[in-house]
Every structure is written in C-alpha cells, then in structure tokens.
Amino acid sequence: MVGMKKEETGIFQTEIVTGDCPECDCKTMLVKIYDNIYRCVNCGEDTEQKVNGVIKYMKVNSETKMAIREFMDG
C-alpha cells in the first residue's frame, strides 16, 4: 500500500476485554468498536464503558450522545 496513510488502509486495531453485559446480565467478552463503545459477543448489545475508579459498561441506544471533548489548558 505505497503512498497511503495508515488510516486509509482499512486496517484498524481493536481490543477484547471481559466484563459484565448489562443487557444479557452475564460475564462475557466485549469487543471495542469505537472509543468507549464495546459490543457483547454473547448477545450483540452495544455498551458504553464508564471508568470512575471501577470499569462499568452501560447500555447504548439511539439517545446516547457521543461527542468529542476539548480539554482547556489552564
């Protein structure tokens, strides 16, 4: 793939973690599909990862808002 940037090659990296799915209520593998969005391999539900001292996965639906946050220096 000469002359192509890394993001144009169609190759991406993902992450597989174990966690508790809030939809099927079981400990399962979750595949990272977006910055903090993981998909349950058991039921296929998309969950949002929340980290606040403890990692939690929350159900994602059409009302879930995703935005890029800007950090201010100072």
> Is 68 within a domain?
no
> Is 66 within a domain?
no
Provide the domain count of the chain. 1
> Is 17 within a domain?
yes
> Is 67 within a domain?
no
Take residue 34 and report the two structure tokens written for it: 């977006």
- pLDDT digit string, tens, across residues 5-28: 555 566 667 899 998 898 898 999
> Is 7 within a domain?
no
> Is 40 within a domain?
yes
> Is 48 within a domain?
yes
Quote the CA–CA distance of 44 and 23 in Å, as a whole number. Answer: 9
Take residue 13 and report the two structure tokens written for it: 């990296």
pLDDT band at 49 (very low <50, low <70, confident <90, very high): confident
> Is 2 within a domain?
no
Domain that holds residue 37: 13-59
- pTM comes to 0.60
